Amino acid sequence: MADFSIRHTGTRGEDRTHMLAAVHVHDLDTLMSRAMPHRIASPPADERLPRAATEAEVASELASMAAANTARTSMIGQGYYDTETPAVIRRGILENPSWYTAYTPYQPEISQGRLEALVNFQTMVSELTAMEIAGASLLDEPTAAAEAIALASRATGRDRIAVDRDVFEQTRAVIETRCRGLDIELVPVNIDGPMDLTECSGLLVQYPGATGRVHTASTYRGLGDAIHEAGGLFIMVADLLACSILTPPGELGADIVAGSAQRFGLPMGGGGPHAGYIACREKYKRNLPGRIVGVSKDRAGNPAYRLALQTREQHIRREKATSNICTAQSLLAIMASMYAVYHGPEGLAAMADRVHGQARALACNLADLGAHVNYTRFFDTLTVSVTQKADEILAALLEENVTAYRVDGDTLRLSADECTTDLARRHVVQAFARVLDGPRTSVDITQYSLGEDVRRTSQYMEQATFHRYRSETGMMRYMHRLAEKDYALDRGMIPLGSCTMKLNAAVEVSAITHEGFARIHPFAPAGDLAGYRTLISDLETWLAELTGYDAVSLQPNAGSQGEFAGLLAIRGYHEARGQGERRICLIPASAHGTNAASAVMAGFRVVVVKTAADGSIDLQDLDRKIEKAGAHIGAIMLTYPSTHGTFEEQVTEVTDRVHRAGGQVYIDGANLNALVGYARPGAFGGDVSHLNLHKTFAIPHGGGGPGVGPVAAKEHLAPYLPGFPAGAVSGAPWGSASILPITWAYITLLGYEGLREATASAVLAANYVAARLEPVLPVLYRGPGGFVGHECILDVRPLKEQYGVSVDDVAKRLIDYGFHAPTMSFPVPGTLMVEPTESESLEELDRFCDAMEAIAEEAAQVGDQWSADDNPLRLAPHTAHSLLTGTWEHPYSQEMAAYPDALAAKKKGRDPEYVHRLIESKYWAPVGRIDAPWGDRNLQCTCPPPEAFEEQD
């Protein structure tokens, strides 16, 4: 089977002909040439893209690339440790489409499974760090540390931060990049000596230090006291595994704690993805960046989870921006939480003790050989002095298949981890012994210890969930039970505008679990990364060709981070030309929230440009804003096709005007699914763009991450793209390297023609939905020729005006019809934005349109047949429990409540087999509509106590 295209695109043959007829065009190319303005059309060069390959070919090429990487016993540490992903979790979560194809849980009623897992994550973090509030994941440890600094800065209103020197190099680098953007002064300090903390927003220390060193508990408490006295916050970047046996940061005076959950079963993966975490004291909860899952209650009063303080997230925008985090690391946080559930607190502590034991034994062994172990108090990492012999020892280690971290020619660091065995330790000792030829001694092991003063005494993770699942059967069923509650792509379409929920093909995603991709340390010797280098260089070439840019960096681990990196590149460019005053960034009113937030983070002042009546950028307002900005105009950020779902005619006019005024053009590439193979942002006026590989290029959404947000730029901006470590925007040179095979596979499977077909099919699907629904629900904006792009905004506001039915009611009623709601109220409040993608079949598109039509009909009966608060829309979604218990006292039937799709299909005379299938595959929402404001007022973001589940009456 050569043509993967037929697997990827959901419609062909007669179905496609039917859809083309519905939108009055003959073929896909005609559709594209009529929907897309001619002056932006600029196809990439076929010969610079791979020829379409079969699934078998792709699988085997990826296997060879994985084999070209060398996985060794890694003792490099520095924030990345080998870990054993329990097989039951790998199969049950990482390889399970019910988990990896889910969307961010904005619709909580159909996301209870992943929300529970995320609450487990938050509870685990909050318990291990002894902090009151924890978020549902950040991108990685260095960016989490940078977010902690930004939080301290906001909380204190100060712009100096003291950072201890004993932090990982990549953490320091990312902090430096962030501080540059926000104009925060980074004050390097050494906590061993006197420190000037005057006017500092906080003091950041790493726990244990990068050197491995663990200070006394009273030292840490003293640091906390010192910074508190100076009016700042105490930030600790803490290792979660260490926290299971070390006094937790919360007991040492920390106000904010950040770090990574990588070593909780998340493979090193050449740098990622991993779940970063952040936790804080209660009083900073409203400033916490990223998402927080909270406990609320549903209509029946039962506890139910949902994203807390969501209005805050929707307002990651404009000058008020606090953080630009959107896509985070949901899937990884879920895996880490399951790891904690499976091992439990006693398992984690035992593991930490084992790791510490190996490090201690190794310290002893090496000291016996005459190496100098610099610090006697450590958890898992030794810093070893080996006068001028570091390189020789590294070479000897490599012969034993072991890698370690080189500090300088005299110093090495070695970290033990979950996978360190006695045998591995013997190999290390042999390597050292070959090089160190001084007299042997016998060192007393008791001199190496954590120190009793920092031994954790407090209990943690006492919640039932962390004690219930020790057997694999129990664990398998728990994960299945949670997955069963959720709606992911394995149930049906998720027509989320701007999010591109397309097929994540099995052959694409299966490559990531190859040992040769997974078990690779990002700082491994270059020779060990040959496979990754090939993969990355292919991707850089192809993405540059597809976007019309000259240089690509794959480092940013989400679209938001790509935006930040791209804007910093613009700023760097202006500064290098002596035009550092160019700090105004124009942003259209309809822009995604991350745009403005990223602009603020990169040190720009946001000026909003109005939207014209037809949804395009208001050119007159643009001229006014450009004129007003004068020589301060730095950039414009625009999205193409626009977030209104249309190919704006005058986009080149906009980019020309900004260029003439001396500004740079940032094109947000989140909507690239409407362009791939037909037009290239770099060819129609863009200087820099980010892409979302987790939208356009088939990386699954994971229930809210991981993502990859490469930044692509023209030659003149290339020198300012992220470097590593200098200029880093994430913790590893290639960010989330281990999921890049997915995109590599996607592009290789489709090839030039297949990619074009995918794009045009996506545009066709959106136009088909628009055409079918126009008679019942107006399509808000249309572009050239009356066509929409790859998505369209359905205006449901008339339902509100006429019948009092809100966009929420429609979204929740869609659950009864077996659908995930489209994007709600973005970019236009009260509307729904539908993006069907190329992967859906005609039958599924019709099922969706049928549901929307039926809902519109239902809405028309409110006020007439049904009262405003007793109707199937307001009371949606309906749970089985609510239909089967008590007496049914509503003015509509139970059948109407639960099987509205089957009823509507019957009425339309659809064939009985289809009706039967609808009934049979009914998706039941596990909870009724959730009361969000109640949850925000009573914020609880750890596992609810048993009393919460007492029967309500």
Ligand X SMILES: *Cc1c(COP(=O)(O)O)cnc(C)c1O
Instruction: State which residue, 181 or 707, has the beta carbon closest to ligand X.
Output: 707
The least distance separating ligand X from the CB of residue 835, rounded to whole angstroms, comes to: 10
Amino acid making up residue 879 = T
Residue placing its CB nearer to ligand X in the complex, 321 or 918: 321
704 binds ligand X (CB under 6 A): no
Q: Which amino acid is at 135?
A: G
Asked if 273 is part of the footprint of ligand X (rule: CB under 6 A), the reply reads no
Candidate residues 302, 594, 879, 940; the one interacting with ligand X per rule CB under 6 A: 594
Cα atoms in the 13 Å half-sphere on the side-chain side of 86 = 22
Residue 559 in contact with ligand X, rule: CB under 6 A: yes
Choose between 78 and 643: whose C-beta lies nearer to ligand X: 643
Q: Rounded to whole angstroms, how far apart are CA atoms 336 and 274?
A: 9
Which range in 263-271, 287-295, 307-315, 557-565 contacts ligand X by CB under 6 A?
557-565
Q: How many CB atoms lie within 10 A of CB 650?
A: 16
Q: Is 707 in the site for ligand X (CB under 6 A)?
A: yes
Pick from 740, 709, 426: nearest CA to 556 = 709
| Smallest distance, ligand X to C-beta of residue 290, A | 11
Residues near 931 by beta carbon (within 8 Å), at least 6 away in sequence? 296, 297, 298, 299
Segment interacting with ligand X (CB under 6 A) among 283-291, 374-382, 504-512, 556-564:
556-564
Among 639, 646, 730, 839, binds ligand X (CB under 6 A): 639
Assign 145 to helix, strand or coil: helix
From the list 186-194, 552-560, 580-588, 788-796, the region that binds ligand X by CB under 6 A is 552-560
From the CB of 730, what's the least distance to ligand X, in Å? 12
Min CB(540)–ligand X separation in Å:
19
Q: Does 560 bind ligand X (CB under 6 A)?
A: yes
* Of the candidate residues 291, 592, 782, 820, the single one contacting ligand X (CB under 6 A): 592
* Residue selected from 94, 334, 546, 558 as contacting ligand X according to rule CB under 6 A: 558
What's the closest the beta carbon of residue 711 comes to ligand X, in angstroms?
A: 12
Task: Name residue 586's beta-bridge partners.
Answer: 607, 636
- Segment contacting ligand X by CB under 6 A, of 558-566, 777-785, 836-844, 925-933: 558-566
Q: Which residues contact 445 (CB under 8 A, 6 or more apart)?
A: 360, 361, 363, 364
202 or 669: whose CB is closer to ligand X? 669
Nearer to ligand X, 205 or 558 (CB): 558
Residue 481-500 contact track with ligand X, rule CB under 6 A, x = bound: -----------------x--
Length of the chain: 953
For residue 706, state whether it binds ligand X (rule: CB under 6 A).
no
Query: Tokens standing for 504?
Result: 């994540």
Does 670 bind ligand X (CB under 6 A)? Our answer is yes
**Taking the CB of residue 864, how many other CB atoms lie within 10 A of it?**
8
**Nearer of residues 559 and 566 to ligand X, judged by Cβ:** 559
Please count the helices (runs of H) and the strands (runs of E) in the chain. 33, 26
Residue 662 exposed, middle or buried by CB count within 10 Å (0-12, 13-18, 19+): middle
Torsion of CA 808, 696, 174, 221, to 10 degrees: 40
Minimum distance, C-beta of residue 500 to ligand X, in the bound complex (Å): 8
Total chain residues near ligand X (CB under 6 A): 15
Asked if residue 547 binds ligand X (CB under 6 A), the reply is no
In contact, 567 and 635? CB cutoff 8 Å: yes
Q: In this complex, which beta carbon is closest to ligand X, that of residue 431 or of residue 688?
A: 688
Q: Calculate ∠ Cα 835-837-843, nearest 5°.
A: 100
Residue 563: CB minimum distance to ligand X, A: 7
Tokens of 343: 């091992």
Q: Which is nearer to ligand X, 109 or 668 (CB)?
A: 668
Q: Which two tokens stand for residue 268?
A: 């090193």
Nearer to ligand X, 223 or 326 (CB): 326
CB of 499 to ligand X, least distance (A): 6
Min separation Cβ 497 and ligand X, Å: 8
Min dist. Cβ of residue 576 to ligand X (A): 27
Query: Nearer Cβ to ligand X, position 232 or 735?
Result: 735
Query: Of 381 and 594, which CB lies nearer to ligand X in the complex structure?
Result: 594
Q: Are 748 and 50 in contact (CB under 8 A)?
A: yes
Cβ 864 to ligand X, closest distance in Å? 38
Q: Please report the sign of the dihedral spanned by the C-alpha atoms of residue 204, residue 205, residue 211, residue 212.
A: negative
Q: Does 668 bind ligand X (CB under 6 A)?
A: yes
Give the interface segment with ligand X, choosing from 130-138, 252-260, 307-315, 555-563 (CB under 6 A).
Answer: 555-563
Give me the least distance between CB of 560 and ligand X, in Å please: 3
Query: Which listed residue (74, 111, 171, 643) binds ligand X by CB under 6 A?
Result: 643
Collapsing DSSP to helix, strand or coil, 257 comes out as: strand
The interface region with ligand X, picked from 72-80, 362-370, 554-562, 888-896 by CB under 6 A, is 554-562
Instruction: Output the CA–CA distances (angstroms, integers) from residue 927 to 215, 406, 749, 891, in the order listed.
Output: 48, 54, 40, 21
What is the Cα–Cα distance from 469 to 916, expressed in whole angstroms?
38
CA nearest neighbour of 150 among 116, 177, 123, 126: 177
What CA–CA distance (Å, rounded) separates 479 from 474? 9
Burial 830-862 (b: 16+ CB within 10 A, else e): bbbbbbbbbbbebebbbbbbbbbbbbbebbebb
The verdict on 129 binding ligand X (CB under 6 A) reads no
From the list 137, 211, 365, 692, which residue makes contact with ligand X (rule: CB under 6 A)? 692
CB-side neighbour CA atoms (13 Å) of 672:
30
Binding mask 323-362 for ligand X (x = CB under 6 A): ---xx-----------------------------------
Q: Which is nearer to ligand X, 558 or 587 (by Cβ)?
A: 558
- By Cβ distance, which residue is nearest to ligand X? 559
What is the C-alpha to C-alpha distance for residues 373 and 414, in angstroms, rounded to an integer? Answer: 11
Nearest approach in angstroms of CB 642 to ligand X is 9
Closer of 271 and 706 to ligand X (Cβ): 706
Q: Which residues contact 509 (CB under 8 A, 6 or more apart)?
A: 95, 100, 700, 742
Residue 146 phi, psi (nearest 5): -65, -40
Closest distance of CB 307 from ligand X, Å? 14
Distance CA(466)–CA(190), nearest Å, equals 39
Closer residue to ligand X, CB minimum distance, 303 or 707: 707
Nearer to ligand X, 107 or 643 (CB): 643
Smallest CA-to-CA distance from 403 within 518, 517, 265, 519 is with 519
* Binding of residue 303 to ligand X (CB under 6 A): no
Whole-angstrom distance, CA of residue 152 vs CA of residue 157: 8
Task: Give the residue, chosen from 703, 709, 727, 731, that forms a contact with ligand X under the rule CB under 6 A.
Answer: 709
HSE-up of residue 632 (Cα within 13 Å, Cβ side): 13
State which residue, 780 or 876, has the beta carbon closest to ligand X.
780
Shortest CA distance to 348 belongs to which of 469, 241, 464, 207?
A: 241
Residues that bind ligand X (CB under 6 A): 326-327, 498, 558-560, 592, 594, 639, 643, 668, 670, 692, 707, 709
